[in-house]
Amino acid sequence: MKDFNIMLVFDLAIAGLGAYLLYTAFHMRQEKKVPPILLAKEEVDRCEDPEGFTSYMFPKTLVFAVVSTICGILCFLSDLKVLPLSQKSGNIFGIVMLLIFLAVWLYFIFFLKKAKEKYFKSDIYL
């Protein structure tokens, strides 16, 4: 148990999130409904144009899903020492992957907020 690396769990969680978001993106596009994983149930019920929301958010969700999956898998392989990286370059690689993941997450959150402003009823009228 001494050699257990918590980062392996973190990497798998990111890859799992990405895989689930891939499923969610295609399901969202097919069903033309706002998936509850993206927003709270109360917010989902306030959507005025689910088709517009899904067509706007599909490509953004797809980008976030693919980047999450790739970052999670590559970092997992790096932590297992499957990728041919030295200790120093492995650490730098992990930091770069984390920064890429965070940048794409912020990109996704930015456009999710824009979509909420455009396709949802305002809180003022509730």
Q: Read off the pLDDT of each residue in 23-29 and give the average, rounded to a whole number.
A: 94
Residue 3 has pLDDT above 80, yes or no: no
Residue 119 has pLDDT above 60, yes or no: yes
Residue 125 has pLDDT above 60, yes or no: no
Chain segment 47-91, per-residue pLDDT in tens: 889 899 999 999 999 999 999 999 999 999 988 888 888 888 888
Q: What pLDDT is attached to residue 121?
A: 79
For tokens 């730098």, name the residue.
Answer: 92
Rounded to whole angstroms, the Cα distance separating 37 from 17 reads 11
Rounded to whole angstroms, the Cα distance separating 59 from 43 reads 21
